[in-house]
Structures are given as structure tokens and as C-alpha cells.
Amino acid sequence: MSPAPLSELSTVADLLAAVLLPEPAEHLLQAVTALALPVLGAASCSVARLDEDRGELAYVAATGRGADAIVGVRLELGRGLAGYVAGSGQSLVVDDATQDPRFAADVAERIGYVPRRVLAVPVVDGDTVLGVLQVLDPPPEPPDRAIGQLELAGRLADVAARALLVAVSAGAIGQLLLRAAADAADDADLAAALRRRAGRRRNPDAPLAGMATVLAELARLGPAEQATATELLDNFLGYARRRRRR
């Protein structure tokens, strides 16, 4: 099998996740961060996913102040309060983040929101840290409160863990398919090529994954709607081919 079909096989395998998953993991993570605001009285909440391959935390969902600016930000593991929690696996409550040497003040200034009080809890699966849930500027906790803010944040982090596990599994579909093909291959060179390509696979390209999701949605429509969508797509592809020949 030549490199081109191998590449196509692995790409298709990755895109399967976008079609098979009933709801993108990011939607559930977004719902978790939105719930944190009324439950904890916070100004903002975010979830960052641990990317061990790159040694970074990637912010994937947020609600509240600075939410639009923080999503997509990547921090080196160990930087900031969230980085400390990811590295240590320990929850953290800081009453004045601006006075804490671990606080990534440059990032806060860049997104336009400098919090004061910060709660950060690890998002875990057993002993494995998957990411960090961070709650910004919740009010000081009354001493007689039955369920503490940190415990509530931990329960939200448990829900976030389920969503992150789905995302991790989805990203591995391409690797699993290629490795399974390698195990079944009689040709030793082909098996080695499949395993090498499996090791290089990363999460599916976001625009292509989005297209796969749209196609899955179209498959649930009626024949008339599908015919209209096919005609529109054919017209667009014809236009794109003509432009590419110029």
C-alpha cells in the first residue's frame, strides 16, 4: 500500500469521530463552565485540557469574563496556577492571585481580565490528570456552608473528566484503526508503515471534522432536502475546480 492511501485511511478514521459521537465533547465542557457561574457565584470558569505530547495546557471551554479570549490559549505545563494544579494534581484556592508568584499575570492581562480569587481543581480519571477546571472570583466562602466551594468545583470537574475522556478517545480512533490494520497485515513492511503512521496521528483537522459532522446531519434529513444539499455541493465543487485551474 502506497503512502497516499495510508494517509487517506488514517484521515478518514480520525473523521469518523465527528460523525459517531452524538455530541461534541466541547459542548458538554461549555455547559460545565456555564453551570459553575450560578452555582459558585463566580465571574468566570474555564476548562483546560492537558496535552502531554506538547507539554501544554490548552483552554477548550470557558464562560464568563474573558471567555472568548481564553479559549484556544495554550500554556506551557507548570506555568500559572492552572499549570501548577496540572503538574501537582492538587486543588488550589488563592485569595489574591496577583500576589501569588505562580500566577501568570501576562496571560490575564492579555485576555483583559485579571482575577483576584481563584479556585483551581484537577480534572482527573483515577490517578491520571486530564486537565484543570478553574473558577475565577467566586465570593469568599461562608464558614457555615454545608458544601464547600472547592467540593462543588470538584464535582463539576468530575463531569468535565467524562467529556475529556470522550475527546481523548475520539482523537485516538485513527491510531486504533491503523494499529489494528497493522496487526492484521501479512506484509511486515506494510505493518511497519501502518504503525509509523499511527504514531504520527493527531486530532482530526477541525474544518474537516466540522464538514463530517454536517454530512452526518444531512444523512438524517429527508430525500428532498438531501437532493437539494447535493445539488448545492456539486455546484460549489464545480466553481472551486474552475478557480483552481486558473
Q: Give the pLDDT score at 221.
A: 73
DSSP per position, 128-181: EEEEEEEEE-PPPPPTT-SS-HHHHHHHHHHHHHHHHHHHHHHHTHHHHHHHHH
Report the distance separating Cα 80 and Cα 109, nearest Å: 13
Residues 138-149 have a mean pLDDT of: 75
Q: Which superfamily, per CATH, for 20-171?
A: GAF domain (3.30.450.40)
More confident residue, 76 or 189: 76
Model confidence, pTM = 0.63
Q: Above 50 in pLDDT, residue 205?
A: no
Residues 229-241 have a mean pLDDT of: 72
Q: Grid coordinates representing 138?
A: 467566586
Residues 172-178 have a mean pLDDT of: 57
Residues 187-199 have a mean pLDDT of: 58
Find all residues with CB under 8 Å of 33, minimum gap 6, and list them: 45, 46, 47, 61, 62, 63, 64, 67, 133
Give the tens place of pLDDT for each residue, 33-87. Answer: 999 999 999 999 999 999 887 889 999 999 999 999 999 999 988 899 999 999 9
Asked if 101 and 130 touch (Cβ cutoff 8 Å), the reply is no
Domain residue limits, the chain: 20-171, 205-246
Find all residues with CB under 8 Å of 94, minimum gap 6, and list them: 81, 100, 103, 117, 118, 120
Find all residues with CB under 8 Å of 39, minimum gap 6, and list them: 152, 156
- Measured CA to CA in angstroms, residue 206 lies from 10, 170, 171, 180 at distances of 15, 13, 11, 25
Q: Give the pLDDT score at 10.
A: 57
Q: Give the pLDDT score at 182.
A: 61
Q: Give the pLDDT score at 208.
A: 45
Q: Give the pLDDT score at 204.
A: 46
Q: Give the pLDDT score at 91.
A: 93
